[in-house]
Amino acid sequence: MTASANFIAADLGASSGRVMVGRWDGQRFALEELHRFPNGGTSAGGHLYWNALGIWSQIQVGLSQYHERFPASPRGIGIDAWGVDFGLIDRDGRLLANPTHYRDPRTHGAPEAAFACVPEDEIFAATGVQTMQINTLFQLYSMVRAGDPVLTAADRLLMIPDLFTYFLCGDKIVEYSEATTTQMYSPAHHDWARAMLSRLGIPTGILPPPTQPGTVMSPVQARILEGCGLRQSFPVIAVASHDTSSAVAAIPHMGDDSVFLSCGTWSLMGVELREPNTSARVFELGFTNEGAADGSFLLLKNLTGLWIVQECMRQWKIDGAGCDWSDLIAGAATATPFKSFIDPGAPEFQEHCDMPAAIRRYCNDSKQPIPESATEIARCVYESLSLKYRSVLDSLELLTEGPLRFIRIVGGGSMNKVFCQMIADACNRQVISGPTEAAALGNVLMQAVATGHLADIRSGRAAMAESVQLATFDPQRSNAWDEAYGRFKLLCA
């Protein structure tokens, strides 16, 4: 471990973005927020897009904020973001269109159509990735089927974090962990699954070779530095740019007996593996293999997460009955337990809608008591998510053939103490929550490794254990949770 340094992390989530400075003093990390901004889809013409240039302007605001607070330039900057979405660049380096949001309806029916050309089990064998309609593979295949001229004009595909890396320094890359979210990367060949993609008519010439985390890229372009008031040059660093991979990299004490749970808009729950598991059993159970910060793999399941509660909050605000998060959580803690459940993965909870009404309809259709108040709805969602995590935990223990004693929660959900205790009780496991800003910290950690301030991710995790506060939730055993789990499994079946 070497001398102190500052690193800028742009951590882009599907509901908000933040530009942070990570300060390394030689022993510990400290994270300071420079700029935070809302993010989300923008609807136009019946489609849902990301406002890429709006996000780009917010990143530059963050850089300007760094200049106002710190006299010297940072040692690097890294971008992490959600997976599966992308921008297309033409041969002159211009962004061809606003990136389409993964919840856009263009992928409806795309998986089924693709499987008529390449069977689903063959796609899984090639990529090790669970089928989700939102995946890059089906986004591109929907463009192929529609004869989309934007795809025809494309020279390069850049995943969302790689698009902003390109805006910063001009390098056109796709970072490894992001590549593995696409359902187009072949772990066996350490490259794109080109033969499978060709069978679907997807042009492979637009795909840059995957770049490993920790690669030092070109410096931030001079005109951007000048516009933000920065004088000294510094490089862009390819971190583990899928935010889940960055978040897992920052989890202290992560070991073979631990499950990670990245809990935000999405929930991603899994374990670390040296090699991918593409067995038939993994395929049947709906797990996926995604790239880790050290080039290994995360065996995980993608689940709808706190998006459901976020959508409820949005609708209540529209209805003029808005409440704040602290009141909602406090109310959920005292609401009647185990009254009703939902399957968080059900199709009706995947798109923008009147979410409270969707939850009530689901409970009515499944002949359960209908939650009426906001706190009853929140309790229903939190309990349902907790029971879903127990189901995933059962499957992970089956696949890893070993006891998994700890659930390590990071992300926004780690701040919800009521929810964390529910998870501990539902799963009968000790839950350790934190750090909250794990993706940004993992981003900074990877930059510190790339620049030689840390030897490797293991030493970075040791430093992270000294840098952040964790909270522990011991399970409170109750037969009521076992009975609820039985009801939940029948409901999902």
**Structural class in CATH, domain 251-434+455-493:** alpha beta
- Rounded Cα gap, residues 284 and 347, in angstroms: 19
Kindly report, residue by residue over 112-148, the tens digit of the pLDDT: 999 999 999 999 999 999 999 999 999 999 999 999 9
Kindly report, residue by residue over 18-52, the tens digit of the pLDDT: 999 999 999 999 999 999 999 999 999 999 999 99
**What length is written for the chain?**
493
pLDDT band of 321, cuts 50, 70, 90: confident
| Phi, psi angle pair for 262, to nearest 5° | -90, 110
Active site residues: 243
Average pLDDT over residues 82-89: 98
Amino acid 2: pLDDT: 57
- Token pair 């590549």 in the structure block, residue: 179
- Token pair 């990301």 in the structure block, residue: 50
Cβ contact 174:167 at 8 Å: no
- Rounded Cα gap, residues 163 and 143, in angstroms: 19
> What is the reported pTM?
0.94
Amino acid 279: pLDDT: 95
Kindly report, residue by residue over 191-223, the tens digit of the pLDDT: 999 999 999 999 999 999 999 999 999 999 999
- Rounded Cα gap, residues 373 and 224, in angstroms: 49
Which residue, 293, 306, 299, 310, is CA-closest to 212? 293
**What's the CATH code, domain 5-238?**
3.30.420.40
**Of all helices (H) and strands (E), which one includes residue 249?**
helix 243-249
Q: Where do the structural domains in the chain lie, given as residue ranges?
A: 5-238, 251-434+455-493
Kindly report, residue by residue over 149-180, the tens digit of the pLDDT: 999 999 999 999 999 999 999 999 999 999 99
Joined tokens for residue 373: 């108040």
Q: Does 251-434+455-493 match 5-238 at the fold level? A: yes
